[in-house]
Amino acid sequence: MEYRQLGASGLKVPALSFGAGTFGGQGPLFGAWGTTDAQEARRLVDICLEAGITMFDTADVYSAGASEEVLGAAIKGRRDQVLLSTKTGLPMGDGPGDAGSSRTRLIRATEDALRRLGTDRIDLFQLHAFDAATPVEEVLSALDQLVRAGKIRYVGVSNFAGWQLMKSLAASERHGFPRYAAHQVYYSLIGRDYEWELMPLARDQRVGAMVWSPLGWGRLTGKLRRGRPLPAQSRLHRTADYGPPVEDAHLFDVVDALDGIARETGKTIPQVAINWLLGRPTVSSVIVGARNEAQLRQNIGAIGWTLAPEQVARLDAASHRPAPYPYFPYERQEGFARLNPPMIPSP
């Protein structure tokens, strides 16, 4: 396993992390992801550790805390072998204090996560969404308090807009608060919006990307093909509306390119899609999930090899989408490129 620095922090994380959203699955969304119990989870953790996958990511909102509980049971007796990452900020109830990032909410959420995970510390604690109602100074001051207390080690965010992340980083620098080391983001071959603003920000400010849903909400498994109906067993029947949208024509263009490269390399379509992400700028770790051992072992097969430059170029071209405003007027203008050299070549 390759280990990478998480942003500007001293924390080294595996290039692949394990997402525990399938653990203890309950409800229409998380129940469709998977219903892995503690015994099954322990086996998946065994396989991860054998492969060098030492970071496990979860969130309090995943099945109302059940994911954290199952993960805590699965790592019992080997806490020092793993890195625990969890998130808070999304609603956990209907009360006025059950969502957001106020000082009260963050302290309570941390204590609840520690109890459910069965540990005395969280290695990476992330805000699941930006809370516009709470001043960033209050958020960062509360996180500083928790870091000083030894309850969390590093801090990060998830799904922030560029201005939200930059405002927070500026406040950290101004007041000497802990600095966000990670940004957990959606990024895939059928969802490259991260590249336009958040990736340049991450490079400039040295914030490591933790990639969620690298297979585009389950669409890049190889089971969805042009001209074929959605497989009967696909979870997309129940969960498509929860995830990032994609046009069918674009999806199938990308799948066709993946299919050709999978045949050339002897790899699977998911392995090629994940390997492409591992080569992108600012990516510290790609979070993979699995409902069973076979899925996990297939995802692990995405590491340990490299796509050829020509294959990367073909995937770049098939997955390219026009730049959004304010980038599209300048995307291909030479003068603008001299001022802002692209991180990724245009197809």
Active-site residue list? 62
d(CA 56, CA 78): 13
Between helix 269-278 and helix 248-265 the angle, nearest 10°, is 90
Rounded CA-CA distance 95/86 in Å is: 22
Neighbours of 78 (CB within 10 A): 12
Q: Where are the alpha helices (DSSP H) in the chain?
A: 27-33, 38-51, 66-74, 103-117, 136-148, 162-175, 198-205, 236-239, 248-265, 269-278, 293-300, 309-319, 334-339
Cβ atoms within 10 A of the Cβ of 79, count? 14
- CA–CA separation, 235 vs 59, rounded Å? 21
Q: Which of 206, 103, 84 is nearest to 153 (CA)?
A: 84
